[in-house]
A and B are shown apart, each in its own frame.
Chain A
Amino acid sequence: MIGHKITVLSRTCVAFLGTVALVVLIVDPVCAGEVLNAVKARGRLHCGVSAEIPGFSERDPKGQWQGLNVDFCRAVAAAVLGDGDKVDFVPLKASNRFPALQARIIDLLVRNTSWTLTCEAVLKIQFPAVLFYDSQAFLVPAETDITRLAELNGATVCVEKGTTHLRNLKDYFRTHEMSVNPLMIDSASEFAAALLDGRCSACTADASQLAATGLQAPGTPLAFRILPERISKKPLSPAVWGGDQEWTTIVRWVLYALILAEEEGVTRDNVTTNVSPKPPGDWLALSGEQGKLAEAMGVRTDWAVRAVKAVGNYGEMYERNLGRGSPLKIERGPNRLWTEGGLMYAPPVE
């Protein structure tokens, strides 16, 4: 009798332990393995973005995601799943982005991440291609007399936690034999408040982000100025976890397809009419003539057409979110096509 009770007790303990273990494990399901297969099986793309960078990724008053990064996620979803709306956007702090990628919580990270050797070699992260060429700049209140970076010698400068901006800041001031007091700020969205309440004399971040900060400030965007100097290169790229070359290739060529589309005059409006001003070009090869290419990539034949149909070509995407069609009005600069003196260049299809 006693033995029976002990056995029942033991089995109850086993059941309890098993339940605890399973509950703990089921709390936050994520995927591992072949990313493309997982995305297809799931029918949704998990895309890691920032929740708060105007022009890149933010929610409008209706809760709809918008921005350059958001559009790129939609282009990948359209290419892989045939529908640009099949994306789950996962807002991430800067410090959460790589752990989320490593843990396969997201399939793709498009969160203003700089392409660096350290990330590639040490963290084994792959950067398919540059989505936006940025550079680190400084924002100051418009009313101050500061016009050049040298005038910030000894000043307090706000920097967002978890980014490479702090190291760049220190390196620049050290090499120019100046001193600086970095003040860590949890999020770039606090920059405007930090400048206005005098916690720091300047803020440093990507120039595009600083332009957005001006928009977020209470009152007029003219409350702030960006100093002319740039202290580092910031090639912002989508990122994928290393080891899945097939997925890297797809993400890379979705971006190149958008660039090629712009190069060859293919737009959101004319892409389905299949009329290209310069046939037969690379775009024609991407747009369905080369079924074997799509087969090799593991995507549907019309993947490039669907990507452009979802978000437009690269130029359209840029102007709508960052350029003339946006409140930011950021000049394309190095983000122009190579044919126009910029750095945006897609390799040939064959």
Chain B
Amino acid sequence: MTDLQIYLTLVTFAVVIGVIALDLIDMMVAGLLGVCILLVLGIIEADDLAAALRIAAGPLSLLFGGMVVARVLAKTGIFERVGKLYLRATAGSGKRFLLLLVLIVAPTCAVLPNATTVILLAPVIIRVAQELQLDFVKPMILTAIVSNSAGMLTLVGDPATFLVGSSIGMTFGQYLQKVSLGGLLAVLVIIPLLPALMPQIWHARSNVPAETVDAPIERPGFVVLGLLILGLMVVLFLIGEELPTRIVPPAVAIIAATLALLVIYAVRIEPLDNVMRDLDWKTLIFLGAIFVLVQAFSKTGLLQGMGLTLNRWFGSDFALVALVLLVGIGAMSCLLANIPVVAASLVMTKGFMVAAEAVPDVALAGGFTDWPAATLPVFIAMMFGATLGGNATLVGASANIVSVGICAKHGQQVSFSRFLRYGLPITVAQLVVSAIYVMGLTWLSR
């Protein structure tokens, strides 16, 4: 890529984000326009599209699978029943509604993919919010933010976290020892912000509708099959990668979606075309376009080249570099999908470590795991920046895009600025807490 192409890529990217931020064009159209411009300028070619597809295939499969399963389950009436339980637990209190939301979403997202969790829980959350006569957009934004944050609780909770952890040879147990507490703090710091960010909901008191007798289930066989598919999906998410034939989460989502469609076809509840029509294709296409744009951005090599600059500016001061990465990657993850950002940042950070003579040259290659303890806070700062930075804006994480897409499906358009109003303060608070945590780790590793 020439210098001119690099600048054109940056300008295209900035224009697409700007157009979305100012709500000038529909975000899916803006994303596609950006891709078209890069294609016409010859900045991305067939190989780049293939590379972007390789990266995007996982997240898009998870979303597609989650959407299909959620859509099929909606016909079982299960969401209504779970919604009733949730509603009773709130006792009409907006505060309890929000706290329970955090309590339900956080542990679920610690083990299940974020965006899939948002898709599965959204019908319940929207239903309860409507019963309590509350605006459901804010709880949906909160759901996305909590799901992203809870990804920090375990090594497998977020793809970006897993990418960093696995690339430095961190085990599940080591992650629990060194990072999970920071993830928990990042989730907990959201709670004291809620009264200020969502005062109408926090202070709301509603009358819970009188308990009614649930209508009898008309097609119990269909409900059982639907729940079995959901159970199978959850179990495979948890143990699929341990099986003799490794089944990765995106494959699990596709298997579950296929089985769900098979059930719909077999029981003839409704035409398959109805299910396919109801999927949020706009969100899927927008995400695909964003992945292509980020591929072009990665191709510039800008991020990868920062490793030597970091070494030139900060020498071997790992604590300072950890803070810079936390803020820098956090800022970038606001606007870019965090997986490609993390992939490029890993090259940068490893380059920095080699340049700083903390590790030998071979550390640049994949599979090097002999990282000194003093370097770990730098990688952990990367995880926090990448995972939590995505909370700030609508385009920062796939869960955010999905959440906004669901709101649009329910008749509520969420603008970039509206999301930012809640996302940015939470992200800033989370990054401050993370910085303190990383500094503590740095101090302990000395």
Decide if B328 touches A24 in the complex (CB within 8 Å).
Answer: yes
Q: Interface size of B by Cβ–Cβ distance < 8 Å? A: 49
**Assuming the A-B contacts A22-B10, A33-B299, are A17 and B331 also in contact, with contact meaning beta carbons closer than 8 angstroms in the complex?**
yes
Decide if A123 touches B357 in the complex (CB within 8 Å).
Answer: no
Interface 1/0s, chain B 13-41, versus A by CB < 8 A?
Answer: 01001100110000000000000000000
Interface majority SS (helix, strand, loop, mixed), chain B: helix
Decide if A25 touches B302 in the complex (CB within 8 Å).
Answer: yes
Chain A residues near B328 (CB, 8 Å)? Answer: 24
Q: Is B332 an interface residue (CB 8 A)?
A: yes
Decide if A17 touches B334 in the complex (CB within 8 Å).
Answer: yes
Q: Is B351 an interface residue (CB 8 A)?
A: yes
Give CA–CA (A118, B360) in the complex, Å. Answer: 12
Give CA–CA (A6, B300) in the complex, Å. Answer: 35
Decide if B301 touches A32 in the complex (CB within 8 Å).
Answer: yes
Chain A's interface size range is 35 or more
Chain A residues near B332 (CB, 8 Å)? Answer: 21, 24-25
Partner of B22, one of A11, A21, A33: A11
A20-36 residues with Cβ-Cβ distance < 8 A to B are: 20-22, 24-33
Decide if A99 touches B417 in the complex (CB within 8 Å).
Answer: no
Decide if A100 touches B361 in the complex (CB within 8 Å).
Answer: no
Number of A-B residue pairs, CB cutoff 8 Å, is: 138
Decide if B420 touches A28 in the complex (CB within 8 Å).
Answer: no
Q: Is B264 an interface residue (CB 8 A)?
A: no
**Assuming the A-B contacts A29-B3, A42-B2, are A99 and B355 also in contact, with contact meaning beta carbons closer than 8 angstroms in the complex?**
yes
Q: Is B306 an interface residue (CB 8 A)?
A: yes
B39 vs chain A, min Cβ distance (A): 16
Decide if A123 touches B365 in the complex (CB within 8 Å).
Answer: yes
Residue on B nearest A27 in the bound complex, by CB: B309
Decide if A32 touches B420 in the complex (CB within 8 Å).
Answer: no
Give CA–CA (A191, B365) in the complex, Å. Answer: 31
Partner of A104, one of B305, B357, B365: B305
Give CA–CA (A240, B146) in the complex, Å. Answer: 45
B323 vs chain A, min Cβ distance (A): 14
Partner of B3, one of A15, A42, A96, A119: A42
Chain B residues near A33 (CB, 8 Å)? Answer: 1, 299
Partner of B354, one of A32, A95, A124: A95
Interface 1/0s, chain A 189-214, versus B by CB < 8 A?
Answer: 00000000000000000000000000
Decide if A30 touches B305 in the complex (CB within 8 Å).
Answer: yes
Residue on B nearest A101 in the bound complex, by CB: B364
Interface 1/0s, chain B 275-302, versus A by CB < 8 A?
Answer: 0000000000000000000000001111
A78-113 residues with Cβ-Cβ distance < 8 A to B are: 93, 95-96, 98-100, 102-105
Give CA–CA (A11, B418) in the complex, Å. Answer: 10
Interface 1/0s, chain A 256-288, versus B by CB < 8 A?
Answer: 000000000000000000000000000000000
**Assuming the A-B contacts A20-B331, A41-B2, are A103 and B417 also in contact, with contact meaning beta carbons closer than 8 angstroms in the complex?**
no
**Assuming the A-B contacts A13-B424, A17-B331, are A32 and B1 also in contact, with contact meaning beta carbons closer than 8 angstroms in the complex?**
yes
Decide if B1 touches A24 in the complex (CB within 8 Å).
Answer: no
**Assuming the A-B contacts A10-B421, A13-B424, A32-B300, are A103 and B308 also in contact, with contact meaning beta carbons closer than 8 angstroms in the complex?**
yes
B425 vs chain A, min Cβ distance (A): 10
Q: Is B362 an interface residue (CB 8 A)?
A: yes
**Assuming the A-B contacts A14-B416, A14-B420, are A122 and B362 also in contact, with contact meaning beta carbons closer than 8 angstroms in the complex?**
yes
Give CA–CA (A7, B347) in the complex, Å. Answer: 37
Q: Is B307 an interface residue (CB 8 A)?
A: yes
B101-120 residues with Cβ-Cβ distance < 8 A to A are: none
Decide if B308 touches A118 in the complex (CB within 8 Å).
Answer: no
Partner of A30, one of B22, B304, B335, B418: B304
Q: Is B181 an interface residue (CB 8 A)?
A: no
Q: Is B303 an interface residue (CB 8 A)?
A: yes
- Among the interface residues A14, A31, A37, A124, which one has the most CB atoms of the partner chain B within 10 A? A14
Partner of A161, one of B3, B306, B357, B424: B357
Q: Is A222 an interface residue (CB 8 A)?
A: no
Decide if A99 touches B352 in the complex (CB within 8 Å).
Answer: yes
Decide if A102 touches B347 in the complex (CB within 8 Å).
Answer: yes
Decide if B301 touches A30 in the complex (CB within 8 Å).
Answer: yes
Decide if A123 touches B361 in the complex (CB within 8 Å).
Answer: yes
Give CA–CA (A27, B10) in the complex, Å. Answer: 13
Residue on B nearest A30 in the bound complex, by CB: B305
Residue on A nearest B306 in the bound complex, by CB: A28
Partner of A96, one of B308, B334, B347: B308
- Among the interface residues A13, A18, A102, A162, which one has the most CB atoms of the partner chain B within 10 A? A102
Chain B residues near A20 (CB, 8 Å)? Answer: 331
**Assuming the A-B contacts A102-B347, A103-B305, are A32 and B417 also in contact, with contact meaning beta carbons closer than 8 angstroms in the complex?**
no
Give CA–CA (A1, B416) in the complex, Å. Answer: 19
B245 vs chain A, min Cβ distance (A): 29
B430 vs chain A, min Cβ distance (A): 15
Chain A residues near B347 (CB, 8 Å)? Answer: 102-103
Chain A residues near B348 (CB, 8 Å)? Answer: 103
Chain A residues near B331 (CB, 8 Å)? Answer: 17, 20-21, 24
Q: Is A178 an interface residue (CB 8 A)?
A: no
Q: Is A38 an interface residue (CB 8 A)?
A: yes
Give CA–CA (A18, B21) in the complex, Å. Answer: 10
Residue on A nearest B1 in the bound complex, by CB: A33
Decide if A105 touches B420 in the complex (CB within 8 Å).
Answer: no
Residue on B nearest A39 in the bound complex, by CB: B2
Q: Is B76 an interface residue (CB 8 A)?
A: no
Q: Is B398 an interface residue (CB 8 A)?
A: no
Decide if B308 touches A100 in the complex (CB within 8 Å).
Answer: yes
Chain B residues near A25 (CB, 8 Å)? Answer: 10, 302-303, 332
Decide if A38 touches B1 in the complex (CB within 8 Å).
Answer: yes
What are 16 residue pairs bridging A and B, where the CB atoms are less than 8 Å apart in the complex?
A: A7-B417, A10-B418, A13-B420, A13-B424, A21-B332, A21-B334, A24-B331, A27-B306, A28-B305, A30-B302, A30-B304, A32-B300, A42-B2, A105-B308, A124-B365, A162-B361
Instruction: Given contact pairs A28-B309, A32-B1, A104-B301, enumerate 5 new A-B contacts (beta carbons under 8 Å).
Output: A22-B14, A42-B3, A99-B352, A99-B355, A162-B361
3 closest A-B pairs by beta carbon, nearest first, are: A99-B351, A10-B417, A32-B301
**Interface residues in chain A, defined as those with a beta carbon under 8 Å from any beta carbon in chain B:** 6-7, 10-11, 13-15, 17-18, 20-22, 24-33, 37-38, 41-42, 93, 95-96, 98-100, 102-105, 118-119, 122-124, 161-162
